[in-house]
C-alpha cells in the first residue's frame, strides 16, 4: 500500500471519536495501514499534538472494538498523529497546514499522497475543497483524494450545485462519498447472495411476490436536533442508505466487477425506478413523526418535545414507500421500504416473499443489523409459529470472521483507491431526482403527517400501504417474530439441506 497523509477536518468531532479513530486503529492492528502513515487532525480549538493524541487514545479506550488495548501498541499508533488549528474559512490556515503536511512528508520521506477527509458539517464542503485547491495542498506530485460524509446536498438542485463546486478542485475519480451502509459486509454481498440463493428455476419463473426493506431504529433524534429537524428520515436515511440498499439488492454483480460496472448497474436500477409525481406521492408514501411512548420499559417524549426541535415541527421521523422497478425481472414485484426513529426494535433487514398458495409463505430473509445472517424460512402470517430456518452456508468471509465495522472497510478502500463501495455521483443525482417530488409534496403539505406512538412500528397507515396489495410487514411483533421460529415444514427443495452459495 502506498504511503499517505490523512488530513482530517473535524478531528475533534463526534464522528472522528466514535468511528474514524477506532477504524484506523483496527486497520493498524490488522497491519492494513500504509507503513508510513501520517495523520493531521484539524479543528478550531487549540490543542497540542500531545493533548490531541491523548484525546484520540481516550476515544480508542471507549469505542475501539479491538481486543488489543495494549498501551504500547496504542502509543505506536498515536505517534503518527499531529494536530493543527484551522478555521475552515481562514485561507492563511491552509497555507500553514500545507507547511506542516510537507514537513511531515519530508520527515517520513514519503510521496505526497494526500487524503482529505471532511468529517464536518455539509455546509463546509465547498469552502474546504476550494481552499485546498487555492492553497496548493492538492498540487503535489502524488495522488489526492477527497472523502466526504453525508448528507450530499439537501435536495436535487443543492446536490448538483455542490457537485459542480467540488469538481472545480477534485474530479469524480478523486471524490469518495461515504455511505456507511455500503461498507456493511452483508450489503456488499446482497445482490450476489440473492441471485445465488434463488434457484435457477425460481429465478427464471420470477416467483418473487414482494420485497420489503426495513431499517427500524429505537434511537430518537439524540443530540442532532439542529441537523435532523431540517433533514428528516427522508434525507437522513431514505435518499441515501435505503436507496443504496435497493440498488445493491437488485443488481447482480459479476464476481470481479469494476467500479465502472457497479456504477452502471446501479444507475440502471435508478433509471428503471418508476418515477412519482407530486400527486402519486399520496398513494405511495407514508410520512410519520413519533409521539410520546414507551421504549423498552421507559417513557420517552414525542419528537416535538425533544430538546432543540422547533415548536410544532412537521419534520418526518418515519417514511414508508411503495416502489416499482420497470425492468423485465422486477416489474411485477412491489418493493416496500420503511425506516424510522423511536420504533419498537433496532432491525435492518430485507425480506423476499415468494409467491405461494395458502397462508404459508416462503421467505428469504437477509438480516443486516444488528446481526448479519441470511436464511430461508416458511412462515404464517399472524401465527406465533414459523418454521425451520435454513441457514445459508456461505463461503463469504463475513460469515466466518468477526464482522468488520463499515468505517474500517471504507477507509481502507479509500486508502487503496478502490471506489466500488462509495456513492457515485450519477446514482446520487438519480436518487435525489426520484426523491424530489416527495420533498415537494412534503413542503406543500400534500401528505398527512401521521403521529405514531414511540415504541411501535410506525403509523398504522404504513400497514395499509401493503394491505391493499395483499401483503403485510413481516416480523413486526404483531405478525411473526424471527426469534419465535419453531418447527414445521421447510422449503421442499431445500429441506434439511444447507444451501451452498
Ligand X SMILES: NC(=O)C1=CN([C@@H]2O[C@H](COP(=O)(O)OP(=O)(O)OC[C@H]3O[C@@H](n4cnc5c(N)ncnc54)[C@H](OP(=O)(O)O)[C@@H]3O)[C@@H](O)[C@H]2O)C=CC1
The annotation places the binding site for substrate at 180, 184, 217, 236, 341, 346
121 touching ligand LXAUTJHC, by CB under 6 A: no
149 touching ligand X, by CB under 6 A: yes
Instruction: Give, in order, the Cα–Cα distances in Å from 101 to each of 4, 20, 56.
Output: 11, 20, 19
d(CA 423, CA 328): 25
Interface stretch with ligand LXAUTJHC, choices 74-82, 211-219, 411-419, 461-469 (CB under 6 A): 211-219
216 touching ligand LXAUTJHC, by CB under 6 A: no
463 touching ligand LXAUTJHC, by CB under 6 A: no
Residue 449's SS3 state is: strand
Whichever of 55 and 348 has its CB closer to ligand LXAUTJHC, that residue is 348
Instruction: Give, in order, the Cα–Cα distances in Å from 94 to each of 85, 101, 261.
Output: 10, 10, 37
Rounded to the nearest whole angstrom, what is the least distance from the CB of residue 431 to ligand LXAUTJHC in the complex? 14
229 touching ligand LXAUTJHC, by CB under 6 A: no
59 touching ligand LXAUTJHC, by CB under 6 A: no
d(CA 279, CA 200): 39
Asked if 472 and 354 count as a contact pair (C-beta separation under 8 A), the reply is: no
Whichever of 93 and 236 has its CB closer to ligand LXAUTJHC, that residue is 236
Active site residue 241: yes
236 touching ligand LXAUTJHC, by CB under 6 A: yes
121 touching ligand X, by CB under 6 A: yes
Rounded to the nearest whole angstrom, what is the least distance from the CB of residue 448 to ligand LXAUTJHC in the complex? 23
Q: Of 249, 501, 488, 491, which Cα lies nearest the Cα of 390?
A: 491
Rounded to the nearest whole angstrom, what is the least distance from the CB of residue 393 to ligand X in the complex? 33
482 touching ligand X, by CB under 6 A: no
d(CA 322, CA 333): 10
Q: Of 132, 469, 422, which Cα lies nearest the Cα of 283?
A: 469
Whichever of 174 and 236 has its CB closer to ligand LXAUTJHC, that residue is 236
| 153 grid coordinates | 446536498
Q: CB neighbours of 62 closer than 8 A, spacing ≥ 6?
A: 17
Interface with ligand X (CB under 6 A), residue from 122, 183, 288, 458: 122
| 73 grid coordinates | 501498541
Instruction: Please identify which of the residues 154, 192, 241, 424 carries the catalytic annotation.
Output: 241
Instruction: Lay out the site mask for ligand X across 21-60 (x = CB under 6 A, - = otherwise).
Output: ----------------------xxx---------------
Q: What is the DSSP letter of 325?
A: B
Interface with ligand X (CB under 6 A), residue from 144, 150, 266, 378: 150
Residue nearest to ligand LXAUTJHC (CB): 236
What SS3 string covers 239-301? HHHHHHHHHHHHCCCCCCCCHHHHHHHHHHHHHHECCCCCCCHHHHEEEEEEECEEECCEEEC
86 touching ligand X, by CB under 6 A: yes
- Sheet with 347-354: list strands edge to edge: 449-453, 285-291, 318-323, 335-340, 208-216, 347-354, 360-369, 373-380, 390-393, 499-500
91 touching ligand X, by CB under 6 A: no
Interface with ligand LXAUTJHC (CB under 6 A), residue from 174, 217, 367, 476: 217
Q: Of 165, 90, 172, which Cα lies nearest the Cα of 125?
A: 165
d(CA 376, CA 147): 38
**Torsion sign over Cα 279, 282, 286, 290:** positive
Q: What is the DSSP letter of 379?
A: E
408 touching ligand LXAUTJHC, by CB under 6 A: no
Residue 41's SS3 state is: strand
Rounded to the nearest whole angstrom, what is the least distance from the CB of residue 338 to ligand LXAUTJHC in the complex? 13
Interface stretch with ligand LXAUTJHC, choices 41-49, 215-223, 249-257, 269-277 (CB under 6 A): 215-223
Interface with ligand LXAUTJHC (CB under 6 A), residue from 121, 142, 369, 453: 369
d(CA 32, CA 22): 13
| 280 grid coordinates | 402519486
Whichever of 59 and 188 has its CB closer to ligand X, that residue is 59
Rounded to the nearest whole angstrom, what is the least distance from the CB of residue 22 to ligand X in the complex? 13
Q: Enumerate the known binding-site residues for NADP(+).
A: 10-17, 44, 87-88, 150
- List the single partner that 166 binds among ligand X, ligand LXAUTJHC, none, CB under 5 to 8 Å by kind: none
Where does this chain bind ligand LXAUTJHC (CB under 6 A)? 215, 217, 219, 236-237, 348, 369
Q: Which residues are catalytic?
A: 241
Where does this chain bind ligand X (CB under 6 A)? 10-15, 43-45, 86-88, 119-122, 149-150
Amino acid at each position: 500500500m502506498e504511503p499517505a497523509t490523512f488530513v482530517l477536518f473535524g478531528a475533534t468531532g463526534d464522528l472522528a471519536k466514535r468511528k474514524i479513530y477506532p477504524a484506523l486503529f483496527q486497520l493498524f492492528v490488522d497491519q492494513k495501514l500504509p507503513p508510513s502513515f501520517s495523520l493531521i487532525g484539524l479543528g478550531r480549538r487549540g490543542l497540542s499534538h500531545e493533548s490531541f493524541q491523548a484525546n484520540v487514545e481516550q476515544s480508542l479506550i471507549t469505542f475501539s472494538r479491538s481486543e488489543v488495548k495494549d498501551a504500547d501498541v496504542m502509543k505506536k499508533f498515536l505517534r503518527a498523529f499531529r494536530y493543527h488549528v484551522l478555521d475552515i474559512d481562514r485561507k492563511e490556515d491552509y497555507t500553514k497546514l500545507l507547511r506542516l503536511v510537507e514537513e511531515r512528508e519530508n520527515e517520513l520521506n514519503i510521496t505526497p499522497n494526500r487524503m482529505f477527509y471532511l468529517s464536518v458539517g455539509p455546509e463546509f464542503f465547498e469552502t474546504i475543497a476550494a481552499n485546498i485547491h487555492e492553497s496548493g495542498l492538492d498540487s503535489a506530485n502524488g495522488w489526492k483524494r477527497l472523502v466526504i460524509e453525508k448528507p450530499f446536498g439537501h435536495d436535487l438542485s443543492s446536490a448538483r450545485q455542490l457537485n459542480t463546486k467540488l469538481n472545480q478542485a477534485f474530479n469524480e475519480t478523486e471524490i469518495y462519498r461515504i455511505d456507511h451502509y455500503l461498507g456493511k459486509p452483508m450489503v456488499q454481498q446482497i445482490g450476489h447472495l440473492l441471485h445465488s440463493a434463488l434457484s435457477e428455476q425460481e429465478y427464471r419463473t420470477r416467483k418473487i411476490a414482494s420485497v420489503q426493506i426495513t431499517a427500524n431504529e429505537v434511537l430518537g433524534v439524540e443530540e442532532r436536533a439542529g441537523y435532523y429537524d431540517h433533514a428528516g428520515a427522508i434525507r437522513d436515511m431514505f435518499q441515501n442508505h435505503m436507496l443504496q440498499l435497493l440498488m445493491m439488492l437488485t443488481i447482480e454483480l459479476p464476481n470481479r466487477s469494476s467500479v465502472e460496472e457497479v456504477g452502471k448497474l446501479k444507475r440502471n436500477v435508478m433509471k428503471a425506478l418508476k418515477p412519482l409525481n407530486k400527486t402519486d406521492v399520496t398513494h405511495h408514501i407514508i410520512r410519520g413523526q413519533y409521539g410520546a411512548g414507551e421504549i423498552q420499559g421507559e417513557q420517552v417524549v414525542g419528537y416535538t418535545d425533544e430538546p432543540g426541535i422547533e415548536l410544532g415541527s412537521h419534520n418526518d421521523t418515519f417514511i414508508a414507500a411503495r416502489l416499482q422497478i420497470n425492468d423485465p425481472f422486477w416489474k411485477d414485484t412491489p418493493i416496500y421500504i420503511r425506516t424510522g426513529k423511536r420504533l419498537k426494535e433496532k432491525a435492518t433487514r430485507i425480506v423476499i416473499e415468494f409467491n405461494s398458495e395458502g397462508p404459508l409463505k416462503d421467505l428469504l430473509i437477509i438480516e443486516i443489523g444488528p446481526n448479519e445472517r441470511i436464511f430461508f424460512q416458511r412462515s404464517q402470517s399472524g401465527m406465533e409459529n414459523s418454521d425451520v430456518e435454513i441457514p445459508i452456508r456461505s463461503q463469504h468471509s463475513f460469515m466466518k470472521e468477526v464482522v468488520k465495522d463499515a468505517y474500517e472497510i471504507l477507509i481502507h478502500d479509500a486508502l487503496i483507491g478502490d471506489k466500488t463501495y462509495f456513492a457515485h455521483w450519477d446514482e446520487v443525482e438519480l436518487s435525489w431526482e426520484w426523491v424530489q417530488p416527495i420533498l415537494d409534496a412534503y413542503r406543500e403539505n400534500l401528505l398527512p403527517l401521521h403521529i405514531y406512538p414511540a415504541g411501535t412500528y410506525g403509523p398504522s397507515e404504513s400497514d395499509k400501504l401493503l394491505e391493499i396489495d395483499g401483503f403485510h410487514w413481516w416480523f413486526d411483533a404483531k405478525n411473526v417474530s424471527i426469534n419465535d421460529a419453531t418447527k414445521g415444514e421447510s422449503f421442499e427443495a431445500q429441506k434439511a439441506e444447507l444451501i451452498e452459495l
